[in-house]
Structure 1
Amino acid sequence: MSEPARHPGRRAGDRPGRVLRRTARRLAGAFGAALVLVSAPPGLPTAAAAPAAAGEVRPAAGSTVTAEYPVTLTIESVNKPTAVQNGTVTVSGHVTNGGKSVLKSARATVRKPWEGKPLTTRSELAGVVARTTPQGADGISLDSPQYALNELGPGQSQPYTLSVAVADLELTTEGVYELAVDVWGSTTDNQRNRPLGIARTFLPYNPTPTEAQPSKVTTLWPLVHAPVLAAQTLSDNDQTVPVLRDDSLATEFAPGGRLYELVETGSSLTGLTWVVDPDLLDTAFAMTKDYRVQKPGTAGNAAKEDNTVRGTGTAAATAWLEKLRAAVAKPGSQVVSLPYADPDLASIAHNAPELEGIDAALGKAATAGRLTVEGRLSVDTRADVAWPYQGYLDQRIASVAQRAGAGLVLVNGASMPESNTLKYTPSATRPIGNGQTALVADQVVTSLFEEDLATPQDQTLAVQRFLAETFAISRQEPQNPRGLLVMPPRDLTAGTAKVLAGALQTAQDGKWVEPVKLDALAGQVTPDPKANTTVPAPTDYPARVRDSELPATDLTATTQIQTDLDTLMQVLTLPQRVRGPFSAAMVRSLSTEWRTRASAGGVYREGVDQYLDELTGAVKVPPKRIITFAGDTGVLQVSVRNDLTQTVTNLKLVLSPSQPNRLRVELPAEELVLPASQSVTLRFPAEAKNNGRVSMTAQLYTTGPDPKPYGDPVVFTVQVTSVTNGVLYVFGGGLVLLLLAGLRFMRQRKRRVVRDDEGDAPLAPSDGPDGDSADGAPAEDPAGGPGDGDGPGEAARTPRDSSADGRDRATSDEKVGP
């Protein structure tokens, strides 16, 4: 009985064959990875090999380069991916001398499968991929055809092409066969004719394609991109102009761009499930009209003509949207809407599951996503689908997805592996409890398309392995078709998409695969009772995936944006201008796409926060230092400035003195209404008790049943110069002068009495106009100063009216300000 491929001892999160790949790298040593053999580990096509430097040999991953086996081979094309009766198979690739000696009398040959028997289990397929050196199980080299090779020095390479008749391969029955190419010859340091290296791939043989029921295969086709639509907008003749953080989508939407090619390739397939980020559609729609792009370094600033440039992608975005609408409208296709901006469920579940408002935000994102996709594409969509990062699931992630309304979860097979006792591949549909269903992607099949298949050898490896795996699955129980999920990565490249499309089309033409949309897989394929339905614990979540999560600090700061935004919304008369762009920007700050762009994500979140602070701070009390308040009572006048382009209301200004026992301030009678780009001065009646400085705090508050502080407080000083104390000084001084005048009067009277008692003494002359006596001496002044006049009827002089510190008093209606 057939069975799925097994990988005992693999660490959590390892893709198929990773352990083998690590072993191969150790064997390769300092050489590194270069040309890719078809015998690379399962599901891990490597990147294109860089050209070798002179004298440098860089063997293929998974191969063994020794003095005994110095040759590496690649299989770069198989002209007939599936064998047919009376047909011919043509294989081509390159031979590279990875050793230190010259290859002599070398020739490339095709091996006939061992005893003409097919590989009947998926474990046998994995076993073929794991081999690194020629073995007897690889079959017997044919005498014909052969490809004679030139003498190859160390590091030299030569292409080859071999065409072999299917009949010469002696395939006995339908199934998957190993197709191997090896090189025989000798080297200058070993003249023995021997096998020098080998490359392997798979060749399905299906002479009677109608006997088995095809597997139902659902393929996800992701259309996502890192957020570029900013919270800022620009007003132009009463029109709102969108602003983007960069113009990268102009290239993506144009022919040759990744998103363009994904739509172009996907439109040729049937039964495809398009997985779309609604934010991408909104951005594309915004680009169909005039839009602006931020200049570098201006992410947190209000958008203006001088810090933005005109976007260049209007025509490309318009054409791309029309192309996408036509593609998703094809019969049999389905559109799945991700929550708006594709928030990172795993980061939220692990780092902020109980964050206030997060469940409501995710629920709104799901609703907004569905409405956006249906509105932009004019199709029905399914919006209750959760796709955690790379499909890795644990109990916390499942819980957050459920609270957000996701009844269906897309899961990587590495998260829910099958038991070794299960001898077949179960269907993808798994009930996981709490009303949720998991669609578990086949781990090996999905891993074939995780990397960018940019080289011919990578592409051939992926296609032939996909055909082999799906063929083997369909023959496990021919009358009991399986339901499989193929889940490529979110950032599916254009080249890999074309390879996947070609593999799907070949398998469909071979009639062992039937493409179906997501609903058909989730609702019509009966779950297998023996399949694994256990959701892993959080401790089993792969550490390498957790390392790229958004930290709790970023998540908390992002949700704080909503609180600050709610406060701003209370005071705006046209809140719709700000609410929509900021609410969307807040969700974009949580996007899963920042996982591989951590630096750009940080800049985006910081820009959103700074811009909200700038908008909030545009309504403010201008800074003050010292203002003077003269008198017992009067008015303090304080200005409030509105630099926004709309009227602001529902605000009040409160002045709070640090010493209310010295300076009491009442609330102003008038309501606070701030016209756009204007200032308003408020009058606060005040009463002073004592002189001196009093610290004053001016704070704006929202009005309503739950007032909240708005913006930052402004602290300034009020210099109190009270009139009451100055008057007391004046009256006190006058009383002293009156007393002194009385004393002088008494003394002068005593003098007259003495003179009268002298009798015949001559009369003293009268005082002069300056108060001098007859003998020219000044008259005595009781206050220690010049005389004030010696007649009892002369009024005493009083000092002028002044404040205590000598400054002029401000009248009660005088404007007080800095």
Structure 2
Amino acid sequence: MTTRTRAAAWLGAAAALLVAGMPVAGVVGVAEPAAAQELPASLEVQVTTISPTVARPGGQVRLAGRIVNMSAQPVGGVAVQVRTTSMPVSSRSELHRLGDPQLGEILTGVLAAGSYSVLTDNLDPGKSHRWSATLDVDSLGFAGFGVYPVAVEAIGATPIGYGVLGEARTFLPHQPADAADDLGVAPTRLAVLWPLVGVPRRDPEGVFLDDRLAAALGPGGRLRRALDAARNRPVTWLVDPELLQAVAAMSDGYQVRAGTSEGGGEGGGEGDSEGSAAGTTAGTGAAVAREWLADAREVLTAADAEVVALPYADPDLVALERRGLSRDVTASVTAAPDVASEVLEGAVSGGVAWPPGGFADRATLETLRVAGVGAVVLDRRALPPAVALPYTPDGRATLSTTEGPLTALVTDPELSRLLAARPRGRAAKRLALQRFAAVTTLIAAERPDTSRTVLAIPGRRHKLDARYVDALLTYAAASPWVELASLTVDRPAPLAGVPRAPLTYPPAQRRRELALDYLADVADLRDKLSGFAGVLAGRSNAGTTEMSQAILRTESSAWRSQPADGVALREATARHLDQRIGKVYIAERNLVTLTSRRGRFPITVVNDLDVPVEVGLQLTSENAPRMLLADPEGDESRARRQVQVDLPTIGPRRKVTVEVPAQARVNGIVPVQAHLLTPDGATYGEVRSIKVRATDYGRIANVLTGGALVVLFGTVGLRLARRAVAAARSRRTAR
């Protein structure tokens, strides 16, 4: 609804009669004068009833609502009248101009017969008065099938003049026959894409940051309304598999990180139970999760349901491509159908991507096509027609990529906006419904001999008004010139080949992307996970799939508007990954001693994982002039500053010790850096610094031992000699 203030100069001649309360109803064909006195805004026109929505020959249309005095002064002689034209709206641009007029712009047309009525002699500030007008359709002079503008004007007297003090604009579709076939109008196929997209909030261990998802799934919650609003409607469901996975996890009972926020909208990152100061508490949403999941399975696995799995966790596709994380784009696309199928217990197709905002650049489309995406949902502003068209083109277009053609599902911005709207108040809802009716009628009237497919999609995390959406879809289902259709049953449209302008990715969209420094930290996580997966022997998993999905959750487009929650989830994921990596490590030894300048010292590598690992060991002397190292399995004489040691496969919960040869040139302590290597030679885990002390204890011991032997043998020899001398003396004495 819009309210406009202007003076109606034509009323000047009738002002005295109006003030006196004499009606001028039935005045028809009075044109708007060239000039009009503008008066301050004072009256708001609310339209709460338009019945029926579509005007038909021989029938009547009743309009009703309230007039509200928004000024600080009383308004006298308040009356209402309806103005329309006999010529239909010719284009959507004209519909926009007429529906949202500039201040003071008057609808050029005629007064509808019987529409004028005096409401009250005086309307005090803040007060309202009911009004109604019944229009005979045949008297309106509508020229045929189409959309006709309607202006409801509120008239009154203020201290500075008398005239039109408020207005509401709307439109009346006119149907001169009972069916589209009788009209000669090919119905417009309206494909409504209906997203079920959540906000990731689980850490790699499945602990939830908060319990807000429970509120979204419960009665009146966003996801509850989204599921119910399109139930039994021929829409195409676009489902985030991560949401289904999270709800399934909740339904079996779950834990929530203690001490995290419970308020606000959906959002979240998670902590980590190991090494985290915060504990966990039992979640409260298991029951609502089970109920929602049961309903989702019923709706999404119905025989006539069209369901497509979006990329896992709704990633910020363009931002990932720009940061060089195209492998994660591919991972999110390939994981989606399997995750969705597992939760829904039925086959779900993938191959459709929906970049945030409906905008993408060429490089992202190339990556999506390589990943197996066959169709991408784009806003019409991202891929407009190459030239201005007098009609709405078909919503399908073909884009070329190096991997082959890619279908663009081009959504209509206005229909999408109306579908996602949450009009406040009865009047706003009624005018929004009438605008939806007008737009769909005008699309059919633009090219009545050609059936086209137009696509509409609400916001990915829209908080819809269920009754309002139900009214829109009910109207579309009943309209003879609109056919609700799913994507898969659409037949190719004759106008699908309309030339399109080059793909557009405006700067405003780039500014909304996830920050590059944030994604740099996410890229580090991906590199760490690659290293961890590389050391696992054979086909061991050890939670790498869960870790990979947790990293994908840190790349969700949800963090565009909730960056703090994204950081929390990323940090929790990093903590958990570091803990897993840290379970394969070099046992800490602060000091080892060589008993001579040549010798060996022990290094122990521990595997605390439940799976075998394959790692190497690299040792580096930090003071090569004082100490060199050698390969334990090689020639010890070929000592050098750095050596790499091949280790055998280390079994689960096992350790391996190797003796490393070292050669010291002088006595003293030399730091030696030790770290593990992945099979492809990358550094794994933390670097240890081991102090190796070289001494001459061995040489000194040999000297001491030799001296002792000399003394021992000398003493023994001396004693033997003395004995011999004594014996000789005894023999001489005996003689």
| Structure 1 residue identity aligned to 2:318 | A
CA-to-aligned-CA distance 1:219-248 (integer Å, 9 cap, x gap): 11000011122212xxxxxxxxx3222222
Which residue of structure 1 lines up, in the alignment, with residue 677 of structure 2? Answer: 701
| Structure 2 residue identity aligned to 1:600 | D
CA-to-aligned-CA distance 1:506-530 (integer Å, 9 cap, x gap): 1321211001111234x5323444x
- Answering whether residue 74 of structure 2 is matched by residue 102 of structure 1, we say yes
- What is the SS of the residue equivalent to 1:213? coil
Distance 1:150 1:565, change over 3 A: farther
CA-to-aligned-CA distance 1:405-435 (integer Å, 9 cap, x gap): 2221211111223356422221112122231
- What is the SS of the residue equivalent to 2:350? coil
Distance 1:731 1:327, change over 3 A: closer
Match of 1:80 among 52, 55, 59: 52
Deviation at 1:388, TM superposition (A): 1.5
CA-to-aligned-CA distance 1:783-816 (integer Å, 9 cap, x gap): xxxxxxxxx99xxxxxxxxxxxxxxxxxxxxxxx
Tell me, in whole angstroms, the C-alpha distance in 1 between the residues paired with 2:377 and 2:479.
27
Which residue of structure 2 lines up, in the alignment, with residue 477 of structure 1? Answer: 447
Instruction: Check conservation: 1:37, 1:75, Cα contact below 8 A.
Output: no
Distance 1:147 1:391, change over 3 A: farther
Match of 1:505 among 464, 471, 474: 474
Tell me, in whole angstroms, the C-alpha distance in 1 between the residues paired with 2:272 and 2:693.
39
Tell me, in whole angstroms, the C-alpha distance in 1 between the residues paired with 2:169 and 2:53.
14
Distance 1:389 1:139, change over 3 A: farther
| Structure 2 residue identity aligned to 1:184 | I
Deviation at 1:102, TM superposition (A): 2.6
CA-to-aligned-CA distance 1:128-167 (integer Å, 9 cap, x gap): 123133625154265556362574455x242534241444
Deviation at 1:686, TM superposition (A): 5.4
Which residue of structure 1 lines up, in the alignment, with residue 377 of structure 2? Answer: 410
Deviation at 1:500, TM superposition (A): 3.4
Which residue of structure 1 lines up, in the alignment, with residue 638 of structure 2? Answer: none
Which residue of structure 1 lines up, in the alignment, with residue 29 of structure 2? Answer: none
Instruction: Check conservation: 1:698, 1:714, Cα contact below 8 A.
Output: yes
**Aligned ranges 1:58-207 → 2 under 5 Å:** 67-85=39-57, 87-107=59-79, 109-114=80-85, 116-131=86-101, 132-133=103-104, 135-137=106-108, 139-140=110-111, 144=115, 146=117, 148-149=119-120, 151-154=122-125, 156-158=126-128, 160-167=130-137, 170-172=140-142, 173-187=144-158, 189-190=159-160, 192-207=161-176
- What is the SS of the residue equivalent to 2:615? strand
Which residue of structure 2 lines up, in the alignment, with residue 13 of structure 1? Answer: none
Which residue of structure 2 lines up, in the alignment, with residue 601 of structure 1? Answer: 566
Pairs aligned (count): 655
Distance 1:729 1:118, change over 3 A: same
Deviation at 1:260, TM superposition (A): 0.9
Tell me, in whole angstroms, the C-alpha distance in 2 between the residues paired with 1:303 and 1:479.
68
- What is the SS of the residue equivalent to 1:318? helix
Distance 1:517 1:670, change over 3 A: closer
Match of 1:228 among 201, 205, 228: 201
Tell me, in whole angstroms, the C-alpha distance in 2 between the residues paired with 1:95 and 1:636.
94
Which residue of structure 2 lines up, in the alignment, with residue 326 of structure 1? Answer: 298
Match of 2:691 among 717, 721, 725: 717
Which residue of structure 1 lines up, in the alignment, with residue 516 of structure 2? Answer: 552
Tell me, in whole angstroms, the C-alpha distance in 2 between the residues paired with 1:93 and 1:615.
66
Instruction: Check conservation: 1:67, 1:99, Cα contact below 8 A.
Output: no
Distance 1:652 1:510, change over 3 A: closer
Tell me, in whole angstroms, the C-alpha distance in 1 between the residues paired with 2:100 and 2:476.
24
- Answering whether residue 650 of structure 2 is matched by residue 673 of structure 1, we say yes
Which residue of structure 2 lines up, in the alignment, with residue 238 of structure 1? Answer: none
Instruction: Check conservation: 2:617, 2:675, Cα contact below 8 A.
Output: yes
Tell me, in whole angstroms, the C-alpha distance in 1 between the residues paired with 2:66 and 2:710.
120
- Answering whether residue 553 of structure 2 is matched by residue 588 of structure 1, we say yes
Which residue of structure 2 lines up, in the alignment, with residue 276 of structure 1? Answer: 239
Distance 1:380 1:634, change over 3 A: closer
Instruction: Check conservation: 1:138, 1:178, Cα contact below 8 A.
Output: no
- What is the SS of the residue equivalent to 1:243? coil
Tell me, in whole angstroms, the C-alpha distance in 1 between the residues paired with 2:374 and 2:116.
56
Tell me, in whole angstroms, the C-alpha distance in 2 between the residues paired with 1:102 and 1:477.
49
- Answering whether residue 500 of structure 2 is matched by residue 533 of structure 1, we say yes
Instruction: Check conservation: 2:89, 2:95, Cα contact below 8 A.
Output: yes
Instruction: Check conservation: 2:385, 2:501, Cα contact below 8 A.
Output: no
Tell me, in whole angstroms, the C-alpha distance in 1 between the residues paired with 2:409 and 2:84.
36
Instruction: Check conservation: 2:38, 2:104, Cα contact below 8 A.
Output: no
Q: Greater shift after overlay, 580-589 or 368-377?
A: 368-377
Match of 2:251 among 288, 301, 319: 288
Distance 1:206 1:459, change over 3 A: same
Instruction: Check conservation: 1:134, 1:195, Cα contact below 8 A.
Output: no
Note the residue ranges of structure 2 that are not aligned, 5 or more in a row.
6-35, 261-269, 634-645, 715-720, 723-735
Deviation at 1:503, TM superposition (A): 1.5
Which residue of structure 2 lines up, in the alignment, with residue 436 of structure 1? Answer: 406
Which residue of structure 2 lines up, in the alignment, with residue 19 of structure 1? Answer: none
Tell me, in whole angstroms, the C-alpha distance in 1 between the residues paired with 2:326 and 2:453.
32
- What is the SS of the residue equivalent to 2:363? helix
Tell me, in whole angstroms, the C-alpha distance in 1 between the residues paired with 2:231 and 2:301.
10
Bigger radius of gyration, 1 or 2?
1
- What is the SS of the residue equivalent to 1:475? helix
| Structure 1 residue identity aligned to 2:213 | L
- Answering whether residue 349 of structure 2 is matched by residue 386 of structure 1, we say no
| Structure 2 residue identity aligned to 1:389 | P
| Structure 2 residue identity aligned to 1:323 | D
Tell me, in whole angstroms, the C-alpha distance in 2 between the residues paired with 1:213 and 1:104.
50
Instruction: Check conservation: 2:211, 2:283, Cα contact below 8 A.
Output: yes
Distance 1:707 1:398, change over 3 A: closer
Deviation at 1:575, TM superposition (A): 4.2
- Answering whether residue 309 of structure 2 is matched by residue 309 of structure 1, we say no
Tell me, in whole angstroms, the C-alpha distance in 1 between the residues paired with 2:707 and 2:65.
116
Distance 1:724 1:374, change over 3 A: closer
Deviation at 1:723, TM superposition (A): 2.1
| Structure 1 residue identity aligned to 2:377 | L
Deviation at 1:184, TM superposition (A): 0.7
Tell me, in whole angstroms, the C-alpha distance in 1 between the residues paired with 2:37 and 2:470.
34
Which residue of structure 2 lines up, in the alignment, with residue 244 of structure 1? Answer: 208
Distance 1:722 1:90, change over 3 A: farther
Deviation at 1:179, TM superposition (A): 2.8
Tell me, in whole angstroms, the C-alpha distance in 1 between the residues paired with 2:253 and 2:58.
60
| Identity percentage of aligned residues | 27
Which residue of structure 2 lines up, in the alignment, with residue 218 of structure 1? Answer: 191
TM-score normalised to the size of structure 1?
0.72
Instruction: Check conservation: 2:380, 2:413, Cα contact below 8 A.
Output: yes
Note the residue ranges of structure 1 that are not aligned, 5 or more in a row.
1-35, 41-63, 233-241, 742-791, 794-818
| Structure 1 residue identity aligned to 2:450 | N
Distance 1:699 1:200, change over 3 A: same
TM-score normalised to the size of structure 2?
0.80
Instruction: Check conservation: 2:82, 2:153, Cα contact below 8 A.
Output: yes
CA RMSD of aligned residues (A): 3.7
Deviation at 1:653, TM superposition (A): 4.4
- What is the SS of the residue equivalent to 1:561? helix
| Structure 2 residue identity aligned to 1:299 | G
Tell me, in whole angstroms, the C-alpha distance in 2 between the residues paired with 1:418 and 1:658.
66
Instruction: Check conservation: 1:79, 1:89, Cα contact below 8 A.
Output: yes
Which residue of structure 1 lines up, in the alignment, with residue 529 of structure 2? Answer: 565
| Structure 2 residue identity aligned to 1:410 | V
Deviation at 1:262, TM superposition (A): 1.0
Deviation at 1:634, TM superposition (A): 5.7
CA-to-aligned-CA distance 1:565-610 (integer Å, 9 cap, x gap): 1322344579434112111112222222222222222222232223
